[in-house]
Structure 1
Amino acid sequence: MIFLEHYLLSLMMLVPMIGAAFVLIVRHQDKEIEKRNIRWVTLLATLFTFALSIVLWMGFDGSTADFQFVEKYNWVGDSISYHVGVDGISMLFVVLTAFLMPIVVLASWESIETRVKEYMIAFLLLETLMIGVFSALDIFLFYVFFEGGLIPMYLIIGVWGGLNRIYASFKFFLYTLLGSVLMLVAVFYMFIETGTTDIPALMNHHFDTDIQNLLWLAFFASFAVKMPMWPVHTWLPDAHVQAPTAGSVILAGVLLKMGGYGFLRFSLPMFPDATQHFAWLIFGLSIIAIIYTSLVALVQEDIKKLIAYSSVAHMGFVTIGIFVLNANGIEGAIFTMLSHGIVSGALFLCVGVIYDRLHTREISRYGGLSVNMKIYATIFVIFSMASVGLPGTSGFVGEFLVLNGSYTYNSWVAFFATTGVVLGAAYMLYLVRRLVFGELDKDDVKAMPDLSLREKIIFLPLIIVVFWMGIYPNSFLDPIHASVENLIETKFPVVAAEAVAEEATAATSH
Structure 2
Amino acid sequence: MKFICFFVFMIPLSFNFYLLSLIGYLFMFLAFFLSFNFGSIFSSLGYFLGCDYLSFYMVSLSIWICFLMILASESIYSSKNYFNLFLLVIWFLFFSLFVTFTCMNLFIFYLFFEISLIPTLMLILGWGYQPERIQAGMYMFMYTLMASLPMLIAIFYLNNVFFSLDFFFFFPIDSYFLYFSMNLVFFVKMPMFMVHLWLPKAHVEAPIAGSMILAGVMLKLGGYGLIRLIMVFSFVGFSLNMIISSISLVGGFFVTLICLRQSDIKSLIAYSSVSHMALVLAGILTMNSYGLFGSLVMMVAHGLCSSGLFCLANLSYERVGSRSFFLNKGFMNLLPNLSLWWFLFSSFNMAAPPSFNLLGEIMLINSIVSWGYISIFTLMLMSFFCASYCLYLYSFSQHGKLYSGLYSFHLVNIREYLLLFFHFIPLILLSLSCDLIF
Of the three residues 10, 13, 19, the one matched with 1:19 is 10
Q: Verify the 8 A CA contact 1:297 1:427 in the aligned structure 2.
A: yes
Alignment-derived partner of residue 66 in structure 1? 41
Superposed CA offset, 1:410-469 (max 9, x none): 111233123111111111101111101223353517x53332011111111221122223
The amino acid of 2:54's aligned partner reads I
Q: Verify the 8 A CA contact 1:107 1:245 in the aligned structure 2.
A: yes
Alignment-derived partner of residue 410 in structure 2? 449
State how 1:27-426 maps to structure 2 within 5 Å: 37-57=16-36, 60=37, 62=38, 64-72=39-47, 83-112=48-77, 113=79, 114-163=81-130, 164-202=132-170, 205-207=171-173, 209=174, 212-266=175-229, 268-426=230-388
Deviation at 1:103?
A: 0.9
**Post-superposition, which runs of at least 4 consecutive aligned residues in structure 1 deviate over 4 A?**
none
Q: Distance in 1 between matches of 2:5 and 2:420?
A: 27
RMSD: 1.6
Matched residue of 2:231: which SS?
helix
Deviation at 1:180?
A: 0.8
Q: Distance in 2 between matches of 1:52 and 1:277?
A: 44
Q: Distance in 2 between matches of 1:193 and 1:412?
A: 38
Q: Distance in 1 between matches of 2:8 and 2:398?
A: 41
Q: Verify the 8 A CA contact 2:250 2:378 in the aligned structure 1.
A: no
The sequence identity of aligned pairs, in percent, is 29
Single out whichever of 382-391 and 109-118 deviates more from structure 2.
109-118
Matched residue of 2:17: which SS?
helix
Superposed CA offset, 1:378-426 (max 9, x none): 0011000000010111221111111111121111123312311111111
The amino acid of 1:277's aligned partner reads S
Matched residue of 2:49: which SS?
strand
Q: Verify the 8 A CA contact 1:90 1:134 in the aligned structure 2.
A: yes
Alignment-derived partner of residue 474 in structure 1? 435
Alignment-derived partner of residue 464 in structure 1? 425
The amino acid of 1:213's aligned partner reads Y
The amino acid of 1:473's aligned partner reads C
Single out whichever of 164-173 and 212-221 deviates more from structure 2.
212-221
Q: Distance in 1 between matches of 2:337 and 2:144?
A: 38
Q: Distance in 1 between matches of 2:255 and 2:224?
A: 22
Bigger Rg over Cα: 1
Q: Distance in 2 between matches of 1:173 and 1:321?
A: 27
Deviation at 1:286?
A: 1.0
Alignment-derived partner of residue 32 in structure 1? none
Q: Distance in 1 between matches of 2:281 and 2:187?
A: 9
Deviation at 1:298?
A: 0.6
Deviation at 1:334?
A: 0.8
Q: Which segments of 5 or more consecutive residues in structure 2 lack a partner in the other structure?
A: none
Tell me the TM-score normalized by structure 2. 0.96
Q: Verify the 8 A CA contact 2:172 2:234 in the aligned structure 1.
A: no
Q: Verify the 8 A CA contact 2:316 2:328 in the aligned structure 1.
A: no
Matched residue of 2:137: which SS?
helix
Alignment-derived partner of residue 507 in structure 1? none
Matched residue of 1:229: which SS?
coil
Q: Verify the 8 A CA contact 1:13 1:127 in the aligned structure 2.
A: no
Q: Distance in 1 between matches of 2:368 and 2:172?
A: 27
Q: Verify the 8 A CA contact 2:76 2:82 in the aligned structure 1.
A: no
Q: Verify the 8 A CA contact 1:182 1:218 in the aligned structure 2.
A: yes
Tell me the TM-score normalized by structure 1. 0.82
Count of paired positions: 435
Q: Distance in 1 between matches of 2:427 and 2:225?
A: 25
Deviation at 1:41?
A: 3.7
Alignment-derived partner of residue 432 in structure 1? 394
Q: Distance in 1 between matches of 2:228 and 2:337?
A: 41
The amino acid of 1:437's aligned partner reads H
Q: Distance in 2 between matches of 1:356 and 1:473?
A: 36
The amino acid of 1:325's aligned partner reads M
